[in-house]
Amino acid sequence: MNSIMRKREIMRELKKNGSVSVTELSEKLDVSSMTIRRDLIKFQEEGLITIEHGGAVLNGGSLFEFNMSMKQSEYEEEKKRIARKCLDYINDGDSIFLDAGTTANEIAKLLVDRDNLLVMTNSFLAANTLASASGIKLLMCPGIFREKSMAVMGQITDEFISDFKIDKLFLAVEGVDIERGVSVPDVMDGATKKNLVNCSDKIICVSDSSKFGLSMFYTICDLKDIDVMITDNHLDEEITNKFIQCGVDIKVV
């Protein structure tokens, strides 16, 4: 098992149980305790966990956020299904915005061979994916780079976006809650997303099922401001029905 796979397994155990034991992980993954401790130290440096005697606990709270490498490794197949569903809402001649996020980058991968589209983005991942797409006019936003999002954001980004009328926004979030709407941990990221919502005619929120029931630090908008919510089929049916009863146009794929 390589380093990336090992770290994924450690994080799965943390998310499942809330805490881990160095000894148990060492036996389960067939590596030394020292190797596990080094992995845990790295997670702690990234703010994901707190190391305790003999193990570690997963950090929580409204400011908690995985780094990009962890985001990319989680719910990969689900994100691809969500991205394919998004194609139903993209027509020739549209101006679309791909928000920062791994699901938005999956959408970008499906647009590489499309023609007659204008794609705006603040995401380095999406911009890199579409860099060689000859049929697409790609417009990259300026701004302050945020490593955890692999994107630019902030006042410069917001002022730039405000000059445009966006047909369809594919919005990525970290929390989806019936009472508090959609949210993210970072204020600068959230403010840019809120500005995107205000500049877009149709808001399509893309979120895997792990984000539902979470309420992060900064609220972007209420659920009533979302035109379509696309998620994966791991979402509990009872939760799905609650969102439908609240008037949310939710698509489960």
> What Cα–Cα distance (Å) separates residue 206 from each residue in 5, 37, 79, 100, 130?
26, 35, 9, 11, 19
Residue 141 has what DSSP assignment? P
Q: Name all contacts of 157-162 with Cβ < 8 Å and 24+ positions apart.
A: 157/122, 157/192, 157/195, 158/191, 158/192, 158/195, 161/97, 161/120, 161/192, 161/195, 161/196, 161/199, 162/195, 162/199
Tokens of 158: 């917001």
Q: Is 135 in a helix, a strand, or coil?
A: coil
User: Which pLDDT score, from 0 to 100, does residue 16 have?
Assistant: 74
| 157-186 pLDDT tens trace | 999 999 999 999 999 999 999 999 999 999
pLDDT in tens, 9-25: 887 788 778 889 999 99
Say if residues 139 and 120 touch (Cβ distance below 8 Å).
Answer: yes
Tell me the whole-structure pTM to 2 decimals: 0.80
pLDDT of residue 65: 61
Low-confidence residues of the chain: pLDDT under 70: 60-74
Separation between Cα atoms, residue 247 and residue 228, nearest integer Å? 10
**Would you state the CATH architecture of domain 70-252?**
3-Layer(aba) Sandwich (3.40)
**58 and 49 Cβ atoms separated by less than 8 Å:** yes
What pLDDT, on the 0 to 100 scale, is given for residue 63? 57
3-59 CATH: 1.10.10.10
The per-residue pLDDT for 72 is: 56
Domain residues of the chain, as ranges?
3-59, 70-252
